[in-house]
């Protein structure tokens, strides 16, 4: 099976930058952990796009999925387009917020 392309929205990119900045300022013992975990998860999604659980609260055609990034306590929200073999990351949200971004 060929891999999926993994891309992200500008909003998700902004989330990643903000989380990485916070992480580097507040977690000096592991400043690269967020980016390493993000890279690991994106690599997994390229091979296994249904890895996350369906996210029922999103009004997105075709549905949305959520994947826990446990080591950094974030959730990655994404959609899958099987016809285009595309995973699109739509948001990255810290789990302490209590609700998702959608």
Residue-wise pLDDT tens digits, 35-79: 999 999 999 999 999 999 999 876 787 789 999 999 999 999 999
CATH number of 5-96: 3.30.2310.20
- The answer to pTM > 0.85 is yes
CA distance 67 to 41: 8
CA-to-CA separations, 37 to 33, 57, 82, 84, 89, in angstroms, rounded:
6, 25, 24, 25, 15
């Amino acid at each position: 099976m060929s891999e999926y392309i993994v891309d992200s929205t500008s909003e998700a990119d902004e989330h990643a930058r903000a989380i990485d900045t916070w992480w580097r300022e507040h977690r000096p013992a592991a400043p690269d952990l967020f980016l390493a975990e993000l890279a690991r998860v994106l690599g997994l999604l390229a091979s296994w796009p249904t890895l996350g659980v369906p996210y029922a609260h999103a009004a997105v055609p075709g549905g949305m999925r959520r994947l826990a990034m446990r080591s950094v306590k974030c959730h990655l929200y994404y959609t899958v387009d099987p016809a285009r073999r595309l995973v699109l990351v739509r948001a990255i949200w810290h789990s302490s917020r209590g609700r998702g971004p959608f």
